[in-house]
Amino acid sequence: MNYFKLLTSLILFLLLVSCEEEEELPEAKSHQIISVNSLIGVDSLIQVKLSKSTGTSVEIKYISDARITAQKNDKELGEFIYRQNGIYELPGQYLASESKYQITVTHPSFKKITTNTFAPEKVSINDIKLVNDESEGKTTFHLKFTDDASQNNYYMLLVKGIANNKSNVIQYYSNDIVFEGNLNVNDNDFDQNMLRGSRSFSDKNFESSQVEISFYILNNDFFVDYPKYKIELYHLNEDYFNYERSFVSLQNKDDILFSNKTNLYSNVEEAFGIFSSYALDYKIVSKQ
């Protein structure tokens, strides 16, 4: 939605006539709640990280004494083992695509939590082309893949710059309709909506199952000259898609006073957090 523009102008107006006062924060009126964090790729070890809400402190409080059990397609998989820093693992169990997983978390101080995810199938990149336009200072990519039109699909596209055997997620832009204006070139302009910067997209704007997306990076955005780029296409389930968009939306809202008081997307009832899965395909291309 383009109401970001309106909010910005409203804030400008209020700045003219408002003043601000600072006070000590009143005592928190909330109880502690578990936070579940788990985004698992197909063929990856099944892991869950548990922590609890911390009040006004930012120091993470891990939970090490919870009992977590898992089911795969309604059959018991076993019990997680605690490793460290709130991380629990299901030994020897790797996420299989096209399977439903459910975990149950029990802890004497918290309500029992149950959540589940359906692991998607990998969607392969059919083709990736890179065009380096030095005069405009940008590098353009053309990506092709095949979308299964028989179901609703959600995707995420990440671009990583590779240098010295290390890769970093880097900023890219696109005027392609699949991003619904979230990745326009002028992303600092207040024409953008609350989802500006979101790298996920759904197949609702695809015109055919043979999808071609164009996106580009601006060479001046980076201090490092990346000789190679890793293009990652994530096939997400709907919970992951909602989580990514909610994550971006909260970042963009930041301190806007009048934004709705909502929390990060969660598919975990009676708790915060996300338990979801994805399937990844990637290609590495060299700068020409």
Residues 82-101 that bind another protein (CB under 8 A): 86
Coil, helix or strand for 203? Answer: helix
Per CB under 8 A, the segment of 98-106, 113-121, 130-138, 195-203 that binds another protein is 195-203
- State how far the Cα of 231 lies from the Cα of 240, in Å rounded to an integer: 19
Stretch 51-80: interaction string toward another protein, x if CB under 8 A: x-xxxxxx-x--------------------
| DSSP summary character for residue 57 | -
Minimal distance, residue 74 CB to another protein, in Å: 25
Which is closer to another protein, CB of 75 or CB of 261? 261
Residue among 235 and 245 whose Cβ is closer to another protein: 245
Q: Which 262-281 positions form the footprint of another protein (CB under 8 A)? A: 262-266, 272-274
Q: Least Å distance between CB 174 and another protein?
A: 11
Residues 163-192 touching another protein, rule: CB under 8 A, are 169, 175, 177, 180, 191
Closest distance to another protein from the beta carbon of 195 (Å): 7
Q: Does 154 bind another protein (CB under 8 A)?
A: no
Long-range contacts of 174-179 (CB under 8 A, 24+ apart): 174/213, 174/214, 174/215, 174/216, 175/214, 176/213, 176/214, 176/215, 177/205, 178/205, 178/206, 178/211, 178/213
Taking Cα atoms as reference points, which of 174, 249, 176 lies closest to residue 207?
A: 176
Segment lying near another protein (by CB under 8 A), choices 2-10, 73-81, 102-110, 218-226 = 2-10
Smallest distance, another protein to C-beta of residue 149, A = 19
Question: Which of these segments, 116-124, 126-134, 147-155, 244-252, binds another protein (CB under 8 A)?
Answer: 244-252
Size of the residue set binding another protein (CB under 8 A): 76
Give Cβ neighbours of residue 270 (< 8 Å, ≥ 6 apart). Answer: 110, 111, 112, 113
Phi-psi region of 284 (alpha: psi -120 to 50; beta: other; left: phi over 0): beta
DSSP state of 6: H
Gap between the Cα atoms of 17 and 221, Å rounded? 37
Build a one-symbol-per-residue string for 17-46: x at contacts with another protein by CB under 8 A, - elsewhere: xxxxxxxxxx-xxxx-x-x-xxxxx-----
Tell me how far apart the alpha carbons of residues 115 and 37 are, in angstroms, rounded to a whole number.
11
